[in-house]
Structure 1
Amino acid sequence: MLFKIIIKNFKYNLKNYVLFFAGELMAIAMLFTFLSLKDSLSRGIFDSVIRYVVDSEFKIAAAIIIVISIFIMVFSMKYYMKVRVRDYGMFLTLGMKRKMVFLMLLTESGAGVFMSLAVGLVFGNGLLYGCQKVLGKIDSTYHIHMNVPFAIYRNTVLLSLVIMAAALFSIMVMIGEKNVSDLAEDKQKEEIRPKGKWLILTAVGIILCIAGIYVYKKDNGVGPYRAIIIWAISIFFLLYFGVGLFLEFLKKRQRFYFRNLLHLSQLYHQYSSNYLIMYGLALIHFMAIGYLAGQIAESLPLTPDAQGYPYDAVWCAAEKDGGYIKDFKEKYNVKAEQYPMFMVTGRNTVQQIGISESTYEAITGHEISLKGDEILYADQYIKYLDRESKKGILSMTDIIHIGRYHEEFGTYAMSGDQYNKEEYRKTNIKELVVQPAVGKYSMDGWHSNVLVFSDDYFEKEWKQIRQARDEQNLLVLMHIPEAVRESAAEDLMEYENREGIKNDVYTIEVDNLTVTDHFLEGLKMQNTFNFASRIIIILALIISCLFLIGLKGFSTMEFYRRQDAFFYCMGMKRGRRRKTVKKEIYSSIKIPLLFGGGMGLVYLGCYGWIFEPAKYGDYTYWKTWAFVFAIYIIVIVTGALLLSHYLVRKMEEETKHERY
């Protein structure tokens, strides 16, 4: 008899189990896909500069997907626990031994976990292949890698097992400690009423939000990433404690409260009992509206502006290359200007080009007056030199080493005031200007800029540099006829690879030779690659968001049915009941969108505060962001509308035989 009851119970709850395993499967697949994709990017892109930039920017986006996958997995397991605790409580009431219940639970969970992992990993491999095919069409040199390292499989399986084991342990503890009657009952969680300390915790959330703004503003490099973490914590405090206080405030305004009673009466329960999923949705909206939409806007236009590149090739060579340069000019009819130079190394292994004020005047036609150790910093990359940009530049060039970067003294450049005074010296930067003297050959904005020294200062240092066999000391600026430009570039690159001075840095851009056509093509490819990868990630976030909304709706279907039955008995019309249920579904969507989207706007506000492109008449970034934002909101709202409509129809179909 008990066996028949178990089988009947299993069949009745089959759709609940399928929903749980679908959530686990999706989370495992996404977890595996983005862990693998990060590894594949580092092996599939052969251009070291693009690989470095894409890899560093992809880390934060991949971390977002991993966190959201964990949220889906935890919520699915929580929903599974809720269903099974009630079922096993019934089995205990019917006389089943606790030992048998535990054994049954382990067997059922083990089979489910194994199936979820197996199918999730297979599905994840399919997603990985699809993502790489898209990226391969953008970059023809990108190689698809399906030989995923064992460590990726291991990390995915271990993380999944840890989450599932923790949830399984908690359900066994609940079965062991609670009374049988309590387990069998489907009790609703009581409303959590705000306490006095909630106001303090809400204030903590506001302070964290302000702290994130300060951290973002303080460091343009890692500041935004640190700020994202701080803002994510801020959302936690504001969403849980702030919303609780706000709802309690609304309840005290009786006229408004009773006028919206049906909409607000269950909101206390909804936001507290479903807080985990609401927080996950808020994080999705925060990253999509703030970080990812902003990154997509930065990737456009895909085709870079050809202005700011006055030469066809720029080569940091040495006097020993003079013979080759002479033959090269005659062979390809190249116009080449040659000037003395040396490399300059700043903090964090940043390498710049050092020239004299006379050379600068000859190249640009701008007269300057430098005395003693004064230096002019000519930025080749940025569009607008505002206060924050100047602050960042000065922090990276407050100390310099005359000469190229050497690995043995790399640690000195990152140690604050404690630097090696034999290798580094303090700078006296007189002025900062935006002037592409040689060209905007930088993908991160920090490297390959120009430092202009007074003639006396430069001559003194250059005499020492030209005696070193492993230092560049000659700047060659070339105009190459278009008809022979490609063959000349191949000849030049072959010589540089064979005879050129090798750099000690392989993880960041420090190319001695840059061909403008190749650089612009690489920049276009990077923009397209970044655009496509962010589109893939934002699509994954949209799917995750809609999946969480649907998962939450299905998990509370029984609650909606009971509520609908109550309203039906009270004589409420069908249209009003449908509208009430849809409103409640939307209430759990609007709150995360308000907080997550609001924090995303804070992120974008910090971007505008620091870079301020609009004040220079450049509205491209903001127009693009507004377009991405509008598309995202339309997709989320439309998806939520369709889901709410489907859930209402599903609820009505299950009760149709009782009423209609």
Structure 2
Amino acid sequence: MTFFSIVKKNFKYNLNKFISYFFVNALVIGMLFMYGSLLFNSVVNKELKGTSLIETLNIALMALIIFAIVFITYTNISFLKNRDKEFGMYLTLGMTRKDLIKIVIFENLSVMILALLVGTLGGAIFGRLFYMALSKILDYINIPYELNIESFVLSAGVFILIFIGNMIFNIIYMNRVSIMSNLKASRNKEVGKSNLMIGSISLILFIIALLLLPQTLLRKLFNGNSVIIGILVFMTIVLPYFIIGSIITVFNKVIQKYTKFYNNEILILSNLSHRFKNYKNILYMLSILIAGAIYFSGTTYAMYSTSKELIDKDNPFDVAFVEKDGFNEVEESELKTLLNKKNIGIKNYSTLEFLEYALFKEENGKYMYYSDSTQIISESNYNRHMKENIDVEKGAGIYISVYNEKIITEDFGVILAALSREELDELSYSMEEYLSKEELESIIGREKLYSIEKEKLKEVRGVNFTNIIYNTNVSSGKAIIVDDDEYESLKKANIKSGNMHLLNIKNEKEIGNILDDYLLKKNNIKKEDWNNGKQILSFEEEVIRGYKPIYKQELIEDSIKYNGMMFFTTIFIGLLFIFANGIVLYYKVLSEIDEERERVKLLRRIGIENKKLRKIISKEMAITFYVPIIIGGGIACYYIYVLFSNHYIVGVVMKNVFEVLIAAIIIQTIICLVSRKKYLKEVLK
């Protein structure tokens, strides 16, 4: 028998194993190719050049490459170990280790070439669907489908490097094989250990940590102590490892009280007890893998799907711009006339006057520097703007915020300081530590300070009085309302004041160019100063750009573009992780086929028929395959809930996350069914 005839027969005998091994390699190549075509797409690079999204895409590429290395390497190792008995047989028939190395190299080279061709072709074909999905997500960017040489180089280069590394490992591995160890490979049963007490304690502590963490984050417990938070997070991530190894043992102890059910399922429970001990490490790692995939995919999907809602909530006005320091000085009547001539359709136009004060926030009787530009609004200006009728007492204040958070904060007092930027810079050395009121008075001067005691400062959230804007010139979204007389006193002492111009309009698409041109002319500056495309600006350039109007529609488009790209990237990698989870379990259960055949023989001897055996094995596999998705998916959903529990959109977010989880369960189900079919065919034949 010639070398090639042996290889041919070997291929034929192990066809199913080679197909699954080939599929994994081709899948990774196809994914690398499609992602490379996106990363090197000319439109993507043009639209996102210089933004943080490019960095995100590059980080995702590194994660994808690491995943490819780990996944293909694991598959290669599993593929070799599943053939230990076969290699031992070849050695008994007189083949040398060099002959085995030649067979393995030839097989892997054949699979590599075929996978490279099919994976690249598949990536090119399915890449069009890939871009269609991306275009559907990114409503405001049209990304054409492009085939570029860089994506070929990326996918082929990474795969060839992985192949070379695996070949080196394979040669080392084959040089260490022995006849006896390989022939006994199927009998080497790994025995795991479990401890009922450790498992029970771990489960109790895990539940306690889950209950305490959100309450601590919301400062309802332990005053939001960061050390306690770190301990609780550590517990929720680590304790599942001990729970997985002992959960069946704990379950057995509980279920033994229900004799009929326990007796009916005793075969399944006893085998699962061994399997969970044996699989403890891999089930835990896969659970964390799934948790990461669903957490990042679910979070970015939620951010993407709620982009418009979030922007609407944080920006109750369609257009906002600040008038300050001689910029954007406009007459409301003049601007209204211009916009009405252009058929913009003004629904509401309001000008809100404010003062800017540096703010020191109280904590435990001392004050910490909080902001250099907190807005101060008079009660009459606020009432006119919001059509309300509030009355603020002298010496008191109302701290209002557009944000509507659930987090509980203790009552606090504030000290307002009328300071220029130069004075703030000079005081920077003392702003990183808590100071008493007397220390602030001695450093800044009593005449420049205005304090509101915590008993007289009321905090109100979810007030839609302005848009949230943060740039070099303005920090809006939070403000303190004070009595009119005290506002006038503050106005005399203050050196920084301005107006927020806030508009709601009907024709959002047309206003941008009209208003920009009008204000550019008023400010006597060039259009490039607002639209030069530069990401890194000098301080002076940042100041000038900060006076550009903020359009809610632009914010929505930018948010959808950014969150859409983030979502598409994470869901792409998340799906790979979910596929990897299923395929790792597929190889793990197939590695125990010989052992399972022995168990089946024993069960047949005591009269159990194939129909019953199929039912037992199917239940065992289903439980094994769904454990990572249940534990990992549960942890991911929990952490996403905790992340957004402080936010009013938590209900919408969780709905989106459950959609991602359902998709993951469907994929896991498909892989489980394929694995079960293969497993039953091999075990019951």
TM > 0.5: yes
1:476 is aligned, of 501, 516, 523, to 501
CA deviations 1:491-510 (Å, max 9, x no partner) are 2234458377888599xx97
Structure 1: how far apart are the matches of 2:155 and 2:631? 32
1:313 is aligned, of 309, 316, 319, to 319
Query: 1:463-542 residue pairs with structure 2 within 5 A?
Result: 463=495, 465=496, 473-478=498-503, 480=505, 482=506, 486-494=509-517, 495=519, 498=526, 512-520=548-556, 540=576
Structure 1: how far apart are the matches of 2:167 and 2:418? 58
Length, aligned pairs only: 620
CA 1:179/1:312 → structure 2, altered by over 3 Å: closer, same or farther? closer
CA 1:319/1:175 → structure 2, altered by over 3 Å: closer, same or farther? closer
The aligned amino acid for 1:316 is V
Moved more, 578-587 or 90-99: 90-99
Structure 2 counterpart of 1:380: 402
Shift of 1:646: 3.3
Structure 2: how far apart are the matches of 1:95 and 1:609? 67
Matched, 1:433 2:447: no
CA deviations 1:218-251 (Å, max 9, x no partner) are 7799x9x999995785266235544475488689
Structure 1 counterpart of 2:533: none
Residue pair 2:397, 2:458 contacting (<8 A) in 1 also: yes
Structure 1 counterpart of 2:180: 181
Shift of 1:263: 1.1
Shift of 1:352: 6.9
CA 1:647/1:159 → structure 2, altered by over 3 Å: closer, same or farther? closer
CA deviations 1:267-315 (Å, max 9, x no partner) are 2453355556534542354346655446545655675386775544210
The aligned amino acid for 1:363 is H
The aligned amino acid for 1:646 is K
Matched, 1:459 2:491: yes
Structure 2 counterpart of 1:356: 377
Structure 2: how far apart are the matches of 1:345 and 1:122? 61
The aligned amino acid for 1:515 is Y
Q: Secondary structure at the match of 2:130?
A: helix
Structure 2 counterpart of 1:339: 353
Structure 1: how far apart are the matches of 2:233 and 2:121? 32
Q: Secondary structure at the match of 1:587?
A: helix
Q: Secondary structure at the match of 2:322?
A: strand
CA 1:602/1:127 → structure 2, altered by over 3 Å: closer, same or farther? same
Shift of 1:177: 4.4
Residue pair 2:34, 2:127 contacting (<8 A) in 1 also: yes
Structure 1: how far apart are the matches of 2:49 and 2:429? 25
CA 1:293/1:22 → structure 2, altered by over 3 Å: closer, same or farther? same
Gapped regions of structure 2 (runs ≥ 5): 219-223, 341-345, 361-367, 531-536
Shift of 1:127: 5.5
The aligned amino acid for 2:10 is N
The aligned amino acid for 1:12 is Y
Residue pair 1:288, 1:538 contacting (<8 A) in 2 also: yes
Shift of 1:62: 8.2
CA 1:228/1:159 → structure 2, altered by over 3 Å: closer, same or farther? farther
Structure 2 counterpart of 1:237: 241
The aligned amino acid for 1:339 is E
Matched, 1:21 2:60: no
Moved more, 209-218 or 600-609: 209-218
The aligned amino acid for 2:77 is K
Structure 2: how far apart are the matches of 1:58 and 1:432? 41
Structure 1: how far apart are the matches of 2:73 and 2:203? 24
Structure 2 counterpart of 1:141: 141
Structure 1: how far apart are the matches of 2:389 and 2:479? 15
CA 1:599/1:516 → structure 2, altered by over 3 Å: closer, same or farther? closer
Residue pair 2:210, 2:236 contacting (<8 A) in 1 also: no
CA 1:516/1:341 → structure 2, altered by over 3 Å: closer, same or farther? farther
Q: Secondary structure at the match of 1:451?
A: strand
Structure 1: how far apart are the matches of 2:459 and 2:270? 60
Residue pair 2:304, 2:560 contacting (<8 A) in 1 also: no
Structure 2: how far apart are the matches of 1:202 and 1:64? 36
CA 1:104/1:48 → structure 2, altered by over 3 Å: closer, same or farther? closer
Structure 1: how far apart are the matches of 2:147 and 2:430? 38
Residue pair 1:379, 1:433 contacting (<8 A) in 2 also: yes
Structure 2 counterpart of 1:658: none
Shift of 1:105: 4.0
Moved more, 9-18 or 145-154: 145-154
Q: Secondary structure at the match of 1:320?
A: coil
CA deviations 1:99-131 (Å, max 9, x no partner) are 454455455445545654665466456666543
Residue pair 1:239, 1:279 contacting (<8 A) in 2 also: no
Residue pair 1:370, 1:453 contacting (<8 A) in 2 also: no
Shift of 1:82: 0.8
CA 1:331/1:141 → structure 2, altered by over 3 Å: closer, same or farther? same
Structure 1: how far apart are the matches of 2:85 and 2:431? 58
Structure 1: how far apart are the matches of 2:589 and 2:635? 25
The aligned amino acid for 1:476 is H
Structure 2 counterpart of 1:593: 629
Structure 2 counterpart of 1:469: none
Structure 1: how far apart are the matches of 2:602 and 2:106? 38
Structure 1 counterpart of 2:608: 572
CA 1:308/1:276 → structure 2, altered by over 3 Å: closer, same or farther? closer
TM-score by length of 1: 0.70
Gapped regions of structure 1 (runs ≥ 5): 467-472, 656-660
Query: 1:26-45 residue pairs with structure 2 within 5 A?
Result: 26-30=27-31, 43=44
CA deviations 1:328-359 (Å, max 9, x no partner) are 44422475626345597999999976243354
CA 1:104/1:47 → structure 2, altered by over 3 Å: closer, same or farther? closer
Q: Secondary structure at the match of 1:498?
A: coil
Structure 1 counterpart of 2:90: 91
1:639 is aligned, of 664, 670, 674, to 670
The aligned amino acid for 1:432 is E
Residue pair 2:353, 2:499 contacting (<8 A) in 1 also: yes
The aligned amino acid for 1:590 is Y
Structure 1 counterpart of 2:343: none
The aligned amino acid for 1:367 is I
Structure 2: how far apart are the matches of 1:415 and 1:643? 60
Taking only aligned residues, the RMSD between alpha carbons, in angstroms, comes to 5.8
The aligned amino acid for 2:624 is S
Structure 2: how far apart are the matches of 1:536 and 1:401? 51
Q: Secondary structure at the match of 1:134?
A: helix
Residue pair 1:343, 1:354 contacting (<8 A) in 2 also: yes
Structure 2 counterpart of 1:262: 267
CA 1:270/1:40 → structure 2, altered by over 3 Å: closer, same or farther? farther
Residue pair 2:399, 2:481 contacting (<8 A) in 1 also: no
Structure 2: how far apart are the matches of 1:376 and 1:48? 43
Q: Percent identity?
A: 18
Shift of 1:581: 2.2
Q: Secondary structure at the match of 1:492?
A: helix
Q: Secondary structure at the match of 1:95?
A: coil
CA 1:132/1:438 → structure 2, altered by over 3 Å: closer, same or farther? same
CA deviations 1:524-546 (Å, max 9, x no partner) are 66677777667656655554455
The aligned amino acid for 2:139 is D
Residue pair 2:400, 2:480 contacting (<8 A) in 1 also: yes
The aligned amino acid for 2:19 is V
Residue pair 2:621, 2:672 contacting (<8 A) in 1 also: no
Q: Secondary structure at the match of 2:143?
A: coil
